[in-house]
């Protein structure tokens, strides 16, 4: 029975409980996955609310979101079983022989397995990488609120109140991801 005219008599508590349980499991799984990645020789990179440019060339997993901008994806292992997944783009164009540029607002991308080179440019960049390879970071010093922050090898920016995170550098800086050993 509903108390308001026009309100559906369907409970939303059961689906919300399932969603809350799933989110709780994910919150526990992410730190465990980061630690497992470190033990397996893979490195981690986390970029949060960045303005600027981030380039990653690596083999592993890359998940990202861009409020406004573009991502160029070069699939360095096109004959494997893994395909890039990108949603939310307004425009697509070819870049060179191997690159595809996706641009727009609220882009999301997932590159799992395989080897990729990605170039992410824009505002509101959130990126998580667990892989072997390298990343080049370059922030926009004129961005309102700063250029964003990054961490490598498992430091969680939000959980540590930013103490383990560094602002994106004004000049391009390259960091190594992982040891290069994959067992």
Q: State whether residue 15 is helix, strand or coil.
A: helix
Q: What is the pLDDT of residues 130-173, one digit of tens each?
A: 999 999 999 998 999 899 999 988 776 666 565 678 899 999 99
- Token pair for residue 1? 């029975």
What is the structure's pLDDT at 97?
87
Can you give the residue ranges of every domain in the chain?
13-177
Average pLDDT, the chain: 83
Write the DSSP string, the chain. --SSTT------HHHHHHHHHHHHHHHHHHHHHHHHHHHTT-EEEEEEEEEEEEEEEEEEEEEEEEEEEEEEEEES-TTSS---EEES-SEEEEETTTEEEEEEEEEEEEEEEEEEEEEEEEEEEEEEEEEEEEEEEEE-TTSTT-S-EEEETT--TTTTTTTT-EEPPSS-EEEEES-S---
Mean pLDDT of 19-46: 63
State how far the Cα of 171 lies from the Cα of 141, in Å rounded to an integer: 9
Share of the chain above pLDDT 90, in %: 57
Q: What is the pLDDT of residues 54-90, one digit of tens each?
A: 999 999 999 999 999 999 999 999 888 889 999 999 9
108 Cβ contact partners less than 8 Å away, ≥ 6 residues apart:
64, 65, 86, 87, 88
Residue 183 has pLDDT above 50, yes or no: no
């Amino acid at each position: 029975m509903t108390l308001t005219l026009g309100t559906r008599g369907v409970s939303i508590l059961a689906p919300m409980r399932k969603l809350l349980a799933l989110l709780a499991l994910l919150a526990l799984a992410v730190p465990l996955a980061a630690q497992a990645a470190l033990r397996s020789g893979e490195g981690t990179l986390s970029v949060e609310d960045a303005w600027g440019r981030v380039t990653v060339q690596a083999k592993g997993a890359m998940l990202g979101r861009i409020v406004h901008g573009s991502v160029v994806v070069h699939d360095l292992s096109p004959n494997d079983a893994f395909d890039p997944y990108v949603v939310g783009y307004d425009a697509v164009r070819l870049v060179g022989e191997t690159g595809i540029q996706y641009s727009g607002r609220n882009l999301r991308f997932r590159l799992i397995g395989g080897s990729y080179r990605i170039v992410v440019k824009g505002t509101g960049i959130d990126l998580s990488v667990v892989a072997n390879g390298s990343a080049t970071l370059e922030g926009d010093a004129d961005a309102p609120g700063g250029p964003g922050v990054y961490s490598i090898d498992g430091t969680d920016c939000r959980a540590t109140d930013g103490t383990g995170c560094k602002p994106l550098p004004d000049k391009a800086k390259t960091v190594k991801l992982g040891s290069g050993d994959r067992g």
